[in-house]
Structure 1
């Protein structure tokens, strides 16, 4: 999968925004970020969350279950979620086509999908090597189709893969279907992700990925700083949360690196309101401009 990446530094939102109004959310995104993204509106309810949006694109039938998401006999509910995403693209095409050069799309990565979706027997897909392979292959196809659709309708796409369960997966902390089931750890998760080409990895764990998010204020222990330095020295690109310039310079002094020579972007999370989100996005954009 070939994904063209924007040049660093740039700024962007991670995806989720408050409320249910796509038009207003889209206005915030395009007004405040140099790399716009498709707004995700989880306040709309089930199916609008990250798992539901990604599952809607899979060729494996998936539906909401009593404990989250599960493989379904038919794609009935999934079709409803897919239709909502198509309607969203209709709106964004009308608003943005011809106005943006690149657009970031966000989907949940294969590890978190396999951890969150249960098979018919109630066990997580990650516990079955065949099911893990199937969900990875299905996601690869969904990514290609989704990116192609957005490429044609709005602008060339940049892929973000969200892996919020990566820490639990890497250290083996996932709970099994019963108290007696132990789910193995996967301490080297990037091999499975590498097949998705160039993308931004949004995860709470730093791994050997070429481009990933990193909250530097949560990475202040000596070993964590060494990890950040090693990634940057190897040519990796990091997207960091907005922080005070003086703090950033002190942090890089401790790393014995020059932030002006590092490949850094700035990301913003949504706030409690769209106004808060706009302020967060603006802060990220201004910080990215200061890194140039």
Structure 2
């Protein structure tokens, strides 16, 4: 049986848009709604700011060049944490009577390391000790975050925590720019890349959650991700290459989850029919050598970037994903 969910980000730039997004997801994704993210509200609501709001034991501030670790939390870091708490208040109010599975998203350790600076400049990625400390602080914070969600939504019997790693491909390929922009940080070797993800996955599992890793970047090392103990992997179908087929087939055959972004995230020139999208997924499963009738943990989603869509299309994309899941 297939289910549907969404990646995380939704359109909206005003505080009032958040409650509307929660209502939409609860109404259209009854099997797996999620805590929405509205990055259109500014840097404190965007991916890195949201991730730092979850990190435990480290302080940060917003500099002209972006987020930077500091000795004490600056006003923007405090705002990011406050905004997350306010958003969870809205989710708690709207989903008070909800029972079933629910998903939340956190920024992964490598994406944070590639987007946050050390106290004296340049990315955390450039320092072995700093990136290890950031990953461990994130793992610690996720446990606290998940405990807070459990307290707020007592009817949820299955928590999925999606770890967003759009920068992972660039990290392992040595493609993350240095602060000057003229160079690139050294590539992170697979054993270290895997270890940091394993800490986060283990923290989610220890807290009673189900860990998925999501990336919308091409050339993401999915075989490495699948070996970290994750319960699921999530990607846009358009971003998967021939070498990724075996990994996704193995994940599905082992009873783990594969979430597939197949619905356009921004307003398309022509709206695809649910039959057309369903057929595309069936062809992909056929390439994997899998029978749609026996695949139990396939999840259908819109592709990345729903925050850039108009509200009408965002609603339609979520609805279309749910329809395709039912068709399958």
Q: 1:95 deviation in Å?
A: 1.4
Pick one of 169, 188, 200 that aligns with 1:167: 169
Question: How many angstroms apart in 2 are the aligned matches of 1:266 and 1:106?
Answer: 16
Which residue of structure 2 aligns with residue 266 of structure 1?
300
Deviations 1:109-148 (A, max 9, x none): 1111111111022121122121111111110111111111
Retained in 1: the 8 A contact 2:33–2:102?
yes
Question: How many angstroms apart in 2 are the aligned matches of 1:71 and 1:216?
Answer: 35
Pick one of 299, 307, 312 that aligns with 1:275: 312
Matched positions, count: 283
**205-214 vs 279-288, which deviates more?**
205-214
**108-117 vs 190-199, which deviates more?**
190-199
Which residue of structure 1 aligns with residue 268 of structure 2?
none
Q: 1:182 deviation in Å?
A: 3.8
Which residue of structure 2 aligns with residue 127 of structure 1?
126
TM-score normalised per structure 1 = 0.88
**Cα 1:250–1:103 shift into 2, 3 Å:** closer
What are the residue-to-residue correspondences of 1:47-196 with 2, within 5 Å?
47-58=44-55, 59-77=57-75, 78-155=77-154, 156=156, 157-178=159-180, 179=182, 182-188=185-191, 189-195=193-199, 196=201
Task: Structure 2: state its 5+ residue gaps.
Answer: 264-276
**196-205 vs 223-232, which deviates more?**
223-232
Question: How many angstroms apart in 2 are the aligned matches of 1:153 and 1:161?
Answer: 21
Higher relative contact order (CA 8 A, sep 6+): 1
Deviations 1:231-259 (A, max 9, x none): 43454421012362222233333332212
Task: Structure 1: state its 5+ residue gaps.
Answer: 1-7
Deviations 1:13-36 (A, max 9, x none): 111111121111111111111211
